[in-house]
């Protein structure tokens, strides 16, 4: 089947040839769930990214309109749209990076774990397509609950015999973006100057900002630490409540997803020193998946950094984070492999 909408031209061939000859890289990126609340602004921002030469937009609804709209932007990437399961394989073939924001968002009163049943199935199907059509792609999982959808993706890839833990990353960048913003507010700094490592996972107490490791170095009172930790952990709920039933964070998430995808692409290009936080297969703790700072390179995650020195408050938060993960396994009677 031909792609339903495209903005073909000589530019894509030129960019692809350029890449093949070792010239400027242009990467092929697919967004799965591209017509959604996150998907649309994410698609727009990726179309603006000079590292992207080809942008594939896949969804089960509305991709013709979104693709037609975005394809009129006068930036370099060629955009193609794909609609419905029968076009999934075509959407994925040859991709270097696949970003997955497909799935349902929560409503007030729900936790991210309440999305598990429906979103796990969606992510599973999409990852089966990735296994078949672009097994070497870097995969960025946004669909919630990230603490569970990433291990599920890993199981699909293992079953297909293509699992490389370096290429599977849960996107926790929004926690870092929020932490930078809220910490900058307290310190009276420009958020662009602030960098807060956020480790653990992406739900409630598993979101663990390391305020003792903020750059530039600074200190907080006990009150500020409590306030900031709680605000960062509940940032998602803050947006869900403000949207009052109309979904969860979409615009700040699209921004965070593009920041993270850009880091992955710079790593693929071979840039040195690309370091971001992500939820990955990890031996930093006893848990099989854990978010920490990672160095991104040509193979995906090329180095996983240890937690670094934690203060007493952070050590007690880490215990709560562990308890959450372990209770989740017990409560759902899940096999250890696909639990969190
Ligand atoms: P949305 O409902 O606006 O959009 C989801 C899109 O996914 C829709 O267009 C829908 O058609 C599509 N979709 C559904 N099933 C699909 C399938 N099988 N294949 C392809 N596409 C499919 O939701 P949203 O606000 O964009 O949120 C999407 C997900 O991202 C939710 O699970 C949400 O909880 C999560 N999220 C994660 C973070 C994070 O920090 N990781 C932040 C915000 C939201
Ligand atoms: C977020 O942190 O905003 C997302 O995980 C969406 C949500 O449900 O909170």
85 or 327: which carries more pLDDT confidence?
85
Q: Can you tell me the mean pLDDT for 178-192? A: 98
Give the Cα separation of 80 and 303 in Å (integer): 34
Q: What is the dihedral of CA 213, 217, 222, 228, to 10 degrees?
A: -70
Q: Whose CA is nearest to atom 2 of ligand 1?
A: 104
Q: Can you tell me the mean pLDDT for 275-297? A: 97
Phi, psi of 288 (to 5 degrees): -70, -30
pLDDT score for 182: 98
Distance 249 CA to ligand 2 centre (A): 6
pLDDT score for 328: 77
- Going from the C-alpha of 239 to that of each of 48, 90, 148, 233, 277, the distances in angstroms are 26, 35, 21, 12, 22
* Among 300, 302, 282, CA closest to 292: 282
Would you say the C-alpha torsion 28, 29, 34, 40 has a positive or negative sign?
negative
Phi, psi of 54 (to 5 degrees): -135, 130
pLDDT score for 337: 42
pLDDT score for 332: 64
- Tokens 């009172």 sit on residue: 221
* pLDDT at 127 exceeding the cut of 90: yes
Phi, psi of 266 (to 5 degrees): -65, -35
Give the Cα separation of 176 and 182 in Å (integer): 10
- In 3-state terms the chain splits into helix, strand, coil percentages (rounded to 5) of 50, 20, 35
pLDDT averaged over every residue in the chain:
93
pLDDT score for 16: 54
* pLDDT at 9 exceeding the cut of 70: no
pLDDT score for 23: 54
198-240 pLDDT per residue, tens = 999 999 999 999 999 999 999 999 999 999 999 999 999 999 9
pLDDT score for 8: 55
pLDDT score for 11: 56
- Going from the C-alpha of 336 to that of each of 171, 201, 229, the distances in angstroms are 22, 17, 29
User: Quick check: helix, strand or coil at residue 160?
Assistant: coil
Q: How far apart are the first and last CA of the chain?
A: 37
* pLDDT at 123 exceeding the cut of 50: yes
Give the Cα separation of 188 and 201 in Å (integer): 28
Distance 219 CA to ligand 1 centre (A): 37
Do residues 119 and 93 lie in contact, with contact meaning Cβ atoms separated by under 8 Å?
A: no
Pocket of ligand 2 (CB under 6 A): 105-106, 112, 144, 174, 202, 235-236, 239-240, 248-249
* pLDDT at 18 exceeding the cut of 60: no
Instruction: Please tell me if the CB atom of residue 174 comes closer than 6 angstroms to any atom of ligand 1.
Output: yes
Q: Which residue of 34, 128, 142 sits with most ligand 1 atoms within 8 Å of its CB, as the best mutation to test the pocket? A: 142
267 or 330: which carries more pLDDT confidence?
267
* pLDDT at 4 exceeding the cut of 70: no
Give the Cα separation of 145 and 69 in Å (integer): 30
* pLDDT at 335 exceeding the cut of 60: no
Of the pLDDT bands very low, low, confident and very high (cuts 50, 70, 90), residue 326 is confident
pLDDT score for 313: 98
pLDDT score for 20: 45
* Among 72, 126, 129, 131, CA closest to 101: 126
Give the Cα separation of 195 and 60 in Å (integer): 37
The residues annotated with a catalytic role in the active site are 202
3-state DSSP of 41-54? HHHHHHHCCCCEEE
* pLDDT at 35 exceeding the cut of 90: yes
* pLDDT at 133 exceeding the cut of 50: yes
59-114 pLDDT per residue, tens = 999 999 999 999 999 999 999 999 999 999 999 999 999 999 999 999 999 999 99
Q: Which residue of 43, 248, 256 sits with most ligand 1 atoms within 8 Å of its CB, as the best mutation to test the pocket? A: 248
pLDDT score for 308: 97
Of the pLDDT bands very low, low, confident and very high (cuts 50, 70, 90), residue 327 is confident
Do residues 28 and 12 lie in contact, with contact meaning Cβ atoms separated by under 8 Å?
A: no
* Among 178, 103, 180, CA closest to 141: 103
pLDDT score for 311: 97
């Amino acid at each position: 089947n031909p792609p339903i909408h495209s903005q073909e031209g000589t530019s894509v061939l030129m960019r692809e040839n350029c890449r093949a000859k070792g010239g400027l890289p242009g990467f092929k990126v697919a967004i799965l769930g591209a017509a959604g609340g996150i998907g649309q602004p994410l698609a727009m921002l990726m179309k603006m990214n000079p590292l992207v030469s080809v942008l594939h937009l896949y969804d089960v609804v509305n991709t013709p309109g979104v693709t037609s709209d975005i394809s009129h932007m006068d930036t370099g990437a060629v955009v193609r749209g794909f609609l419905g399961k029968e076009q999934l394989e075509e959407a994925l073939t040859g991709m270097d990076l696949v970003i997955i924001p497909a799935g349902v968002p929560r409503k007030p009163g729900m936790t991210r774990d309440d999305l598990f049943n429906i979103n796990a199935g969606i992510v599973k199907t999409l990852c089966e397509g990735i296994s078949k059509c672009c097994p070497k792609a870097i995969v960025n999982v946004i669909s919630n609950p990230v603490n569970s959808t990433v291990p599920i993706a890993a199981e699909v890839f293992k079953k297909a015999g293509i699992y490389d833990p370096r290429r599977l990353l849960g996107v926790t960048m929004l926690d870092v973006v929020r932490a930078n913003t809220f910490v900058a507010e307290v310190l009276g700094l420009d958020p662009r100057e602030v960098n807060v490592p956020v480790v653990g996972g992406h739900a409630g107490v598993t979101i663990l900002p390391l305020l003792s490791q903020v750059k530039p170095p600074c200190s907080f009172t006990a009150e500020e630490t409590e306030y900031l930790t709680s605000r960062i952990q509940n940032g998602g709920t803050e947006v869900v409540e403000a949207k009052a039933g109309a979904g969860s964070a979409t615009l700040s998430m699209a921004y965070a997803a593009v920041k993270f995808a850009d880091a992955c692409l710079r790593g693929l290009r071979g840039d040195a020193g690309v370091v971001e936080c992500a939820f990955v297969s990890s031996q930093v703790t006893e848990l099989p998946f854990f978010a920490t700072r990672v160095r991104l390179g040509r193979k995906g995650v090329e180095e996983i950094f240890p937690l670094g020195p934690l203060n007493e408050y952070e050590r007690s938060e880490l215990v709560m984070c562990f308890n959450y993960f372990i209770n989740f396994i017990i409560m759902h009677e899940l096999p250890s492999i696909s639990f969190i």
